[in-house]
């Protein structure tokens, strides 16, 4: 099964949406494989958002992501990256379709509730950035036969 990273951002913590975000992924049928709270710092944000480091809005991103701790999570499931991205909605909350996490809870391009990995390759890099091997758990998920056809597992 595929794994992906979801970071629940400070804006979601401030608005008490953490449980709602986790609930949506659980209700979809994704398996929570790792979760922890951590305070992001300049080093990890420069690494994580290296592709944006030279952009004029990079300081705004860093400031926003360091206001409070974040919740980093690892979700697992068939096509997990694609499923999570579809559930998340457009980066700009004003453009996100109602029913998606951002469509229901965000009006901002920055304060948009969560970060999600954008590809299987990126997910592997990001998960390694935020989790050590012993923080990602494999366990018997009893619901699998009720979530997937037997040839999908």
Which residues have a catalytic role annotated?
Answer: 115
Characterize 65-88 residue by residue with b for buried, 16 or more Cβ atoms within 10 angstroms of its Cβ, and e for exposed: bbebebbbbbbbbeebbebbbebb
Beta strands in 39-142 (DSSP E): 70-77, 114-116
The rounded distance, in Å, linking the Cα atoms of 9 and 101 is: 12
């Amino acid at each position: 099964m595929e794994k992906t990273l979801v970071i629940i951002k400070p804006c979601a913590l401030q608005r008490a949406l953490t449980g709602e975000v986790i609930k949506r992924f659980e209700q979809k049928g994704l398996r929570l494989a790792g979760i922890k709270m951590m305070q992001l710092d300049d080093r990890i944000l420069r690494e994580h958002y290296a592709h944006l480091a030279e952009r004029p809005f990079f300081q705004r991103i860093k400031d926003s992501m360091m206001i409070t701790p974040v919740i980093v999570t690892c979700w697992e499931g068939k096509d997990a990256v694609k499923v999570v991205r579809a559930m998340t909605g457009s980066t700009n909350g004003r453009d996100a379709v109602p029913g998606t996490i951002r469509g229901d809870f965000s009006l901002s391009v920055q304060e948009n509730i969560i970060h999600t990995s954008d590809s299987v390759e990126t997910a592997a890099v990001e998960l390694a950035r935020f989790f050590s091997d012993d923080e990602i758990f494999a366990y018997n998920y009893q619901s699998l036969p009720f979530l997937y056809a037997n040839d999908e597992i």
